[in-house]
Structure 1
């Protein structure tokens, strides 16, 4: 049965308690208008012809009373009335209003502290300098698409219009019929204007934080969602899918989520008299003769399952569930009358969940892929069917009966407007396989955080049309690893399979490496999952959030922050033939940065940061860690059951020198969010003048949710080999025998000193002390210059001359390389002169100017 308590306003969305009305002390109102000062920068404007205003929660706004919900002070403001005009002043805004129906001339707001000339908004102004939010779908989009607005702009303001939203109310009946859900979504009794003005200037992060407070937080995701997802529009049989999973295991390719597209149910077997087989809820027993057996087999192999559903056509006579649903809807099953899909009827929706979806879930389905593509109209005025599907499915998925006890709510669906972050995960649609599509995705993902939408899942590798380009696929996989959700997807074309073994050796190896890296990153990602839910910080963020006054931060659309420790600039263009590498345009904020994979150091000393071209071969993309960064990873087995997502008993912790730093690793029991029991492990690097200390603290909190003992591989990346002789390791209260449970080695290729400490109680602290202050390694310039020149597709004589020049002059050789001529080649009858290819010079420039 539908659990009505899940839908109560008191318990709606777990930790969000609705406080929809603005605090009385923050309101200024007249007969037909009301202005609510939610914060000193966030103002709600309402106009009502009847003088009746909306105090209920809406589809967008859940909490308008920050004082009660978040214990925030009443906003500071003054009100002055002069000649019929109302002047409202806060520390951040000045509002002028003529107390008449809203017009451009009669309502305007100035954002203080802004140096731009367009920091005054007039009612109805276009949001031309809005930094963008996101879009409903990327279906059939080849490259860029327009974005709906976010809550920030370079002019300091943004507007979210909530006038058309329906209300969420507690109700025992709807249209005279019983409502088993307890709450329902209903139109406003009458039309009103209702919009929110965000006037935060360039305080972008604060604006997004307050948007989350207004609309509700992002929920915690289950841990398995942060691994790799396998998805393909293909008519799999049980045997074929099991064979696929076994091969993944043999190849050491970890996947945690199986996405089964629409052919799990009857499609082609549907009699045309019923219409299309697009909608369906009856297993195709020719493909899956025993669904429960198959789903449990996937669970045994570490994979959760989601099934695709297109619910538009309701429940028709050929469905297994038809008779029970028809009777529940007072339809005589003998008539064969279809049960229409009606999101506005709580009676139908109760049957839809209880009699159609719950039995399939009881067989072992973990969540649903809501693939709604049929427009935005329901029988209820202004109610978007996509929004209602997301809302109801998400809440229903949190029911705690039977084997679902402890499950966190989860949906997988398209974006349905501001507030959709409450119903993760997002499905961005059927991507076209082109470089243009890849190039748009990192920008699209980061910009979505401007409207709080942090958990996009894209069709990684592209879904359909386009062309085969193995380099494109490898680069897309690399972006996927550093995306919120990494879901490989493709259409049913026999030429378009995304399995790595369908590609040639170099690309296949690159794909395998990044899929294993994604799984290894789950401890880091899960900590960022907690940060998103508890601290309102999305995993992927645009660069300008942290540097709003630096122009370069706006000029790197493909670059983004990935959690607290990493900066990613994926490669989104083909390689240059001459240098056999591809480049990304990177902006490094002020400070010291390290290549995450190789430990090479990059110095960015100017206050405005530094632009570089980062050149990488097919197996790498530019990922940078700040000085003092700490990134925890888990070990991934080479073969077998590689999909485990439980809190690991062995961790690799990548630590970068150059500054003190700290990271708190968060782990829990995976229970429903309100019952989750958390354990934290503090990881701290402290640099002193002549020494350095790295500390792994004993676990704090619910220590029983993590393994009792762990092995630690502490990888100090980008440090000098000289640190080898200056290491002292203590575990618990005393020093460990280095020959017994502690080992130390150095890896020259990644400039990494690796301290391994085996089988330590999680309640014991580990201290690694360096008596030489953890010296940073010199970049191996000569080796890296040789690597660039070795692979360059150019004349050997030119390479040799360039190598000698760089060896003699170092970075001072760069100006001369563009005019370098090797002289005649006696093997060529025409004796042509040879110049250095520009791309080779650019790659050498990166190597020679890192410091």
Structure 2
């Protein structure tokens, strides 16, 4: 058991000299404390990859009280109590309410471990194979040697009985509340790790480590363990509300930049569009049918021949990249292109990387940890793609060394962890195997930003890490399979990703794998008939309905087409329902883009676990199939079949309702405007055309006109739909749509306020300006529950609309 020997007040915080090593506490803000523990004579001087430099951050006023049995360090918001006999930490709020504590014996352990590296014989033959998720190159000639010593770290907690925990990133198991759970934290297809968790007790923990980790709250204890670190290093962040905790995480790891407005429209993708002609014709068909669309995606193998990872387009299939981009732009569509960190020998990109010594041990994957290698990678992206006008990047396979995607039987969880972490450790420093995607994303972002401020970075990645969001990334959940169980699990997976402070997450609508290949465990869809199977069509509709309320609205996958007309024709229920939710998404663009503005300017979260807004509603803690979309919408996806099973088998006697938990408060059914009391579970209509959708009383929802792409009619009318019941303020955000001018203040906000007592709506003075801002805007106001509406001309000056004006 550790004992406190003495303490020393230092300019940067408090040093605790213990019977075994030194602990250090520093306050970065009144609500954020950094805690480190080392057995070395000094702390590591390595720069953090996840935490941004904030030299002013340690200028926080705090006090120390020395009691006979414990020390207390306090700011105005947070107290850390250190037991002198065990060095166990307890964390309390300003009212001395216990937030979290370590076991009485102490909760911090450092265990020495040997760290090995591998030296490869570059002349030895390589093992090259192409699997379902891309090219894999393996070096089998490595010589393993001892590199240094480091530590396993273990941070233990005693969580409270009523406490719920969320976070750790997006994993495939569908865990919502992490209490009683165990999770392996390493990067892999369908695992996007972020080492942070939040508690309904009002705090969060961010672990500054990049090695393999594991989280436990089970028979083995309650702790987070890291595999290789120089020291223990973590942050305790007090809220108490989740929005405040997320703001603290982003204060540490950086803010999320604005994505362009088009990124919140519909993104059409599939595996794969094979030619310039097919891309153009697909967009033309969307425009011909008046189906809204903003982006089309060019998936893998767009490169010449077999030159995997070459960042140029095949001249035979894409003969005029600049002309193709011009055509797409004339149709007001954008192009996202898949790029890979792995390159096959024979192409110019591979040769340049090899000549500079920028390839890792498999002589195929570039070293994203090397700044010069990142610059060369971007130089290649720019020369082959960006210079032709490509709009966005799909950085696939950003966990480049996963190794278990083979065979008919899925390995056991521990086996998978061992297989994948061992493969990554062959080529990467074991202390940093989780950070590849973070550095890869950094290179893309900094490269594009250095060239232009007129086009915002959009980067869709398959893995993630803390801090990656500051590089304009959206993370998707990997190559999932088409079945109802996966659809349901995706909801919790995405919510636990966004609760960590990374705001942009999505999935493949309809799932990547649709068929079932029994010789490959991951190719496990239930629908060999693809779009011809009515069972898959029903599943796809439900996936699409859910996707319409994600930060990125994107269809993608293999085995079967994904364009909307592949699912039927006008007048047919499936087709009409897809169009209904596609148009609803575009109708909500003013609301969604305002949420994006709040993400960039106020550290907001768009895709919200119920604990964000109903932290003290215990019944909401374990709800894993509903979420809030912004402050207004309670989204309740349908995750069971009601009409068809696989092979178009009709189902009989299945209810067309689903159970919905309405948290405490008043709610309105979005489809009918019916008002309902919350704090209870109800049965809600959920036929094929309907996904249960509720709006919180005290909401203002700005809606737009019918458009074909997100930037169409920026001067268009706005409809403000007010859901009365309590006071509310909503900030309407607008800017140029696709530049970084907003960083210099080129944006406008309008504060809109509903006063319940006065039954009045105040549309405030427009603040700010940007190029192209409309001088006048027609605003239609509807107060739910009141007959009629009113229309006003808004010129930027305050207007008050009372209930009597609406009618």
TM-score (norm 1): 0.70
1:374 aligns with 2:397: no
Per-residue displacement from partner, 1:384-423 (whole Å, max 9, x unpaired)? Answer: 3222212222222222x3xx33222332213333223323
Shift of the 77–226 alpha-carbon distance from structure 1 to 2, 3 Å rule, reads farther
Alpha-carbon distance in 2 for matches of 1:676, 1:228:
28
Residue by residue, what CA displacement relative to the aligned partner does 1:595-644 show, whole Å, maximum 9, x if unpaired? 1232111123xxxx22222222212222222223111122124xxx5453
CA-CA distance at 1:199 after TM superposition: 6.4
Alignment match, 1:544: 611
Counterpart check, 1:406 vs 2:454: yes
Among 774, 777, 786, which residue is 1:710 paired with? Answer: 777
Q: What residue is the counterpart of 1:150 in the other structure?
A: 196
Q: Does 1:107 align with 2:88?
A: yes
Partner residue of 1:24 out of 11, 15, 18? 11
- Residue 198 of structure 2 contacts residue 499 of structure 2 at CA under 8 Å; is this kept in 1? yes
User: Which of the residues 499, 508, 526 maps onto 2:593?
Assistant: 526
Deviation at 1:590, TM superposition (A): 3.1
Q: Report what 2:796 is aligned to.
A: 763
Pair 36,620 (structure 1): closer, same or farther in 2 beyond 3 Å: same
Matches within 5 A, 1:162-177: 162-164=208-210
Q: Which structure has the larger Rg over C-alpha atoms?
A: 1
Distance in 1 separating the partners of 2:697 and 2:22: 56
Asked whether the equivalents of residues 548 and 581 of structure 2 are also in contact (C-alpha less than 8 Å), the reply is yes
Alignment counterpart, residue 389 of structure 2, candidates 364, 377, 382: 364
- Distance in 1 (CA, whole Å) between partners of 2:543 and 2:505 is 15
Correspondence list, 1:374-773, <5 A: 374-375=400-401, 376-377=424-425, 378-380=427-429, 382-383=431-432, 384-399=435-450, 401=451, 404-423=452-471, 424-465=473-514, 466=525, 467=527, 468-491=535-558, 493=559, 495-503=560-568, 505-575=572-642, 582-604=656-678, 609-637=679-707, 642=709, 644=711, 647-670=714-737, 671-672=739-740, 673-688=742-757, 692-702=759-769, 704-719=771-786, 721=787, 753-757=788-792, 760=793, 762-763=795-796, 767-771=800-804
SS across alignment from 1:232: coil
Name the SS of the counterpart of 2:431 in structure 1.
coil
- Structure 1: distance between partners of 2:25 and 2:756: 52
C-alpha distance in structure 2 between counterparts of 1:33 and 1:143, whole Å: 33
Separation (CA, whole Å) in 2 of partners of 1:289 and 1:151: 49
Separation in 2, partners of 1:329, 1:116: 48
Gaps of 5+ in 2: 1-8, 109-153, 177-181, 186-194, 213-227, 402-423, 515-524, 528-534, 644-650
Aligned residues: 655
TM-score (normalizing by structure 2): 0.73
- How many angstroms does 1:453 deviate by? 1.8
Instruction: Give yes or no for contact 2:365–2:400 (8 Å, CA) kept in 1.
Output: no
Which of 367-376 and 42-51 deviates more? Answer: 42-51
Corresponding position of 1:353: 378
Distance in 2 of aligned mates of 1:407 and 1:475: 33
CA pair 245-549 structure 1, distance change in 2 beyond 3 A: same
3-state SS of paired residue (1:296): helix
Query: For 1:810-821, what aligned pairs fall within 5 Å after superposition?
Result: none
The alpha-carbon distance between structure 1 residues 685 and 679, as it changes in their structure 2 partners (threshold 3 A), is same
Compare the two structures and name the one with the higher helix fraction.
1
User: Helix, strand or coil: the match of 1:289?
Assistant: coil
Higher strand share: 2
What SS does the aligned partner of 1:53 have? coil
Deviation at 1:511, TM superposition (A): 0.6
Question: 2: distance between equivalents of 1:330 and 1:264?
Answer: 23
Partner of 2:335: 305
CA distance 1:580–1:683, change in 2 (3 Å): farther
Pick 1 or 2: higher relative contact order, CA cutoff 8 A, min separation 6: 2
Gaps of 5+ in 1: 1-21, 100-104, 167-189, 271-276, 332-336, 722-752, 776-851
Aligned match for 1:241, one of 260, 264, 279? 279
Q: Give how far 1:249 is off.
A: 1.2
